Amino acid sequence: MFPKTPDISEVFEKFDEGSEVVIRGWVYRIFKVGGKVFAWVRDHSGYIQVVFDKSCLSSDWDFVEKLTRESSVEVKGVVRIDARAPGGKEIVASNLIVYGYSPPFPIKGGEDIEYLLNVRHLWLRSRQMIALLKIKHTMIQALRDWLIKNGWWETTPPILTGSAVEGGATLFEVKYFDKAAYLSQSAQLYLEVLIFPLNKVWALTPSFRAEKSRTRRHLSEYWHLEVEAAWYDMEDMMKVAEDMVSYAVAKTMEERKEELKLLNRDTSKLEKALEIPYPKITYDEAIKILQKKGFNIKWGDDYGADEEKALTEEFETPFFVTHFPKHIKAFYMKEDPKRPEVVLGFDLLAPEGYGEIIGGSQREDNYEKLYNRIIAEGLNYQDYEWYLDLRKYGSVPHSGFGLGIERLVMWVSGIEHIRDAIPFPRWRGRIYP
RNA sequence: GCCGGGGUAGCUCAGCCGGGUAGAGCGCCGGGCUGUUAACCCGGUGGUCGGGGGUUCAAAUCCUCCCCCCGGCGCCA
């Protein structure tokens, strides 16, 4: 067993000048000046400067001479306060153990994105990536906390499925014994099953979309938080969405201050997302806004990336768009009883150009209507027999939504590209490492 | 799938238009420096110019086909 050593952040917090300490980590930067060697040693909590001075070191000086970036080390030494050290504190080493030397580290700064993606397994050690990994952790934790505190059951829908939720063109096909199966695009249909035994359910699963997308907002594999509940109408579900999102933003701002600062996130903009309820506009109103802004768009058109971006500029907080034309939305969305040409669907768009982070709806709970929509979409109704059964055996009004975890992390972190919201991004052509 | 940009040293790029012995900075290696913060100074090392085919006395450079990457669009979370 390894005797436990303090985190590097604890050296700053709990160890006074002159106290002896042992730390473990990786060499992050190294400077050799005169007779001394300065090494910044990093662990998950931060980094500290270690000073190697021949006169203070009992272990072999040769080990110090050979130190390289990303070598893994254990250092014993004495804490010293010194203004010349980053953070104002350093460790004067008395002993060095090297667990593993590193050949010249392939990332030195200034590399282009293709190169960095190919050494992603090493790039994840950078301070920006560490910050993003931590922000994602905190956001997932907060969303989960909120759901559990509010009485939602966590469930485990399948990843391998026999049929599509939406279109078939974007499915990843896999071999399933002697048949074909597909990687799940959404757990929604299964969550709709699970509201009958559990009323209010959710799941956090990977979703897969084989879209040939080449945008900064799409991944082929992303983490999908989906919720579904019986006796929730669209309004109820929008309330869940805004409560949950604002809670997660608040928690992240509270617990990940340093990381947001490292990423240069303007948190004054995030603060506005703490106030709920979020504004709600209908699709009709969105079209009018866009027309006023000079976009060539008419009722019935789906809005594209430019239009969506323009819309988000009208708001400083996340906001909802509701009541879309039926033909631009999925078959399972419930028709508005007052206006059959629109559905009870909603999107939650993040401000600052980030756009859609949630898509949800009240579900069609009438057997005939759902059956007709399936046929009208050209889908094979036999694939959906079990799903149609839900409308036969005690059908219930219900609603749900799906949230893209990486989209949320991207907006809250203020980053340019979704690939940095996931450690091992996947899209067309990218499967390594 | 479509539009645009790109592939030259370990990395970032120049050279290509107008063909004529492959360049720079960084890194790395060696030396120097008594406190570095992307250290600095001196010296050294480093290449199937993405791949195939073609034109030419001669191709990184011109023509052609193919591959890969990046940015954007549509689709979505």
Non-local (6+) Cβ contacts of A361 within 8 A are A234, A237, A329, A330, A332, A333, A334, A343, A344, A345, A346, A399, A400, A401
Cis peptide before A277 (omega within 30 of 0): yes
The spacing between the Cα labelled CA in A95 and the C1' in B41, in angstroms, equals 31
Reported confidence tier of residue A270, pLDDT bands at 50, 70, 90? very high
Higher-pLDDT residue of A107 and A228 is A228
Total residues belonging to chain A: 433
The residues with which A48 forms a beta bridge, in sequence order, are A41
Instruction: Quote the pLDDT of residue A412.
Output: 96
Within A90-182, residue ranges assigned H as helices are: 113-118, 120-123, 127-149
How far apart are alpha carbons A421 and A373 in whole angstroms?
36
The model's pLDDT over A239-259, given as tens digits with 9 standing for 90+, comes to: 999 999 999 999 999 999 999
- Percentage, residues of chain A above pLDDT 90: 73
| Range of weakest confidence among A17-26, A31-40, A270-279 | A31-40
Smallest CA–C1' separation from A107: which nucleotide? B11
Instruction: State percent of chain A over pLDDT 70.
Output: 99
Mean pLDDT of A61-88: 91
Protein A112 CA to nucleic acid B60 C1', in Å?
Answer: 21
Per residue in A92-106, pLDDT (tens digit) is: 999 999 999 888 888
The tokens describing A55, both together, are 């006169």
Residue A36: helix, strand or coil by DSSP?
Answer: strand
Confidence check: pLDDT of A168 > 60: no
Q: Is the pLDDT of residue A260 over 80?
A: yes
Structure confidence at residue A59 (pLDDT):
87
Q: CA–CA separation, A385 vs A373, rounded Å?
A: 13
What's the confidence (pLDDT) of residue A167?
Answer: 54
Band (pLDDT 50/70/90 cuts) for residue A165 is low
A353-405 pLDDT, tens digit per residue, is 999 999 999 999 999 999 999 888 888 888 889 999 999 999 999 999 999 99
A103 against A150, higher pLDDT: A150
- Lowest mean pLDDT across A160-174, A334-348, A374-388: A160-174
Whether pLDDT at A137 is above 80: yes
Nearest nucleotide from residue A330 CA, by C1' atom: B76
Residue A65 has pLDDT above 60, yes or no: yes
Q: What are phi and psi of A90, to 5 degrees?
A: -145, 170
Residue A305 is predicted with a pLDDT of: 87
- Covered bases, chain B (protein CB within 7 Å): 1-2, 10-13, 25-29, 32-39, 68-77
Nearest protein residue by Cα to C1' of nucleotide B74? A304
Spatial distance between the Cα atoms of A227 and A239, rounded to a whole number of angstroms: 12
**Distance of C1' in B34 from CA in A34, Å:** 5
Nearest to A269 by CA among A347, A346, A348, A353: A353
CA atoms within 13 A on the CB side of A22: 8
- Per-residue confidence at A222, pLDDT binned at 50, 70, 90? very high
Between CA A41 and C1' B38 the distance (Å) reads 16
Which residue reads 């709920």 in tokens? Answer: A276
Nearest to A360 by CA among A256, A224, A219, A238: A238
Least confident of A293-307, A308-322, A358-372: A293-307
Residues A39-67 have a mean pLDDT of 91
Q: What pTM did the predictor assign? A: 0.94
pLDDT reading at A294 higher than 80: yes
Give pLDDT, residue A267. Answer: 94
pLDDT at A133: 96
- Name the residue closest to the C1' of B39 by its CA: A31
Q: Tell me, what's the ipTM?
A: 0.86
Can you tell me which residue has its alpha carbon closest to the C1' of nucleotide B37? A86
Question: How far in angstroms lies nucleotide B14's C1' from the CA of residue A433?
Answer: 32
| B66 C1' to A170 CA distance, Å | 27
Q: What pLDDT sits at residue A382?
A: 85
Q: Of A360, A366, A372, which is closest to residue A396 (Cα–Cα)?
A: A366
pLDDT in tens, A125-135: 999 999 999 99
Does position A218 have pLDDT exceeding 70, yes or no?
yes
Alpha helices (runs of H) in A69-126, residue ranges in sequence order: 113-118, 120-123
3-state secondary structure of A325: strand
Closest nucleotide (C1' vs CA) to A301 is B74
Name residues whose C-beta falls within 8 Å of residue A4's C-beta, 6 or more positions apart in sequence: none
